[in-house]
C-alpha cells in the first residue's frame, strides 16, 4: 500500500483527470478544467507543485512540456478520504454513518441490496 496523501477538493479534480488519462501537460489540464473551474495556467501549476510536494504526482520533461503522472493510486486516496471523513463526522463509526443515512431515508433499495452483498463478501473473506 502506498503512502496516504490527503487531497483538497481542487486537488481531487486534478488527480481525477490524471487517473483517467496520463500523462497530461499543464495546458491539457487547464483546457479540461477551465470551463468548470475558471482556473488558469498559474493556478494549475501551483496545485501541481503542491501535489508533487505531497508525493501525489510526478513529472517528466517532454519534448515541449512537462508530462504529469499520478504517483498515488485512486483507491489509496479514496481510502484516506473515507477514513478522514468517518473520523471527522462520525467519530470513526461506520455504523453511525449508515444508521444516519438509513434514518434520513437516503438509502435506495439498490443501495441496501449492494450493502448486503458487500457485507456477505466481507463475511466470507473472514471465514
Q: In CATH, what number does 9-74 get?
A: 1.10.10.10
**Domain locations along the chain:** 9-74, 93-127
Q: Say what the pLDDT of residue 1 is.
A: 47
Task: Give one DSSP letter per residue of 33-71, joined into a string.
Answer: HHHHH---HHHHHHHHHHHHHHTSEEEEE-SSSEEEEE-
Instruction: Quote the crossing angle between the two packed helices 74-90 and 94-103, to the nearest 10°.
Output: 70
Global pTM value: 0.80
All 3 cell numbers of residue 36? 468548470
pLDDT for 31-48, tens place per residue?
999 999 999 999 999 999
Report CA Rg, the chain.
19
On the question of a cis peptide bond just before residue 81, with omega within 30 degrees of 0, the verdict is no
Amino acid at each position: 500500500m502506498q503512502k496516504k496523501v490527503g487531497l483538497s477538493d481542487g486537488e481531487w479534480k486534478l488527480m481525477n483527470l490524471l487517473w483517467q488519462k496520463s500523462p497530461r501537460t499543464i495546458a491539457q489540464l487547464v483546457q479540461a478544467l477551465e470551463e468548470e473551474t475558471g482556473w488558469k495556467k498559474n493556478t494549475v501549476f501551483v496545485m501541481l507543485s503542491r501535489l508533487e510536494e505531497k508525493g501525489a504526482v510526478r513529472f517528466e520533461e517532454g519534448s515541449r512540456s512537462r508530462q504529469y503522472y499520478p504517483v498515488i493510486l485512486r483507491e489509496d486516496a479514496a481510502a484516506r478520504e473515507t477514513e478522514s471523513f468517518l473520523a471527522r463526522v462520525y467519530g470513526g463509526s461506520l455504523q453511525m454513518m449508515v444508521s444516519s443515512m438509513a434514518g434520513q431515508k437516503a438509502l435506495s433499495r439498490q443501495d441496501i441490496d449492494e450493502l448486503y452483498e458487500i457485507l456477505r463478501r466481507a463475511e466470507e473473506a473472514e471465514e
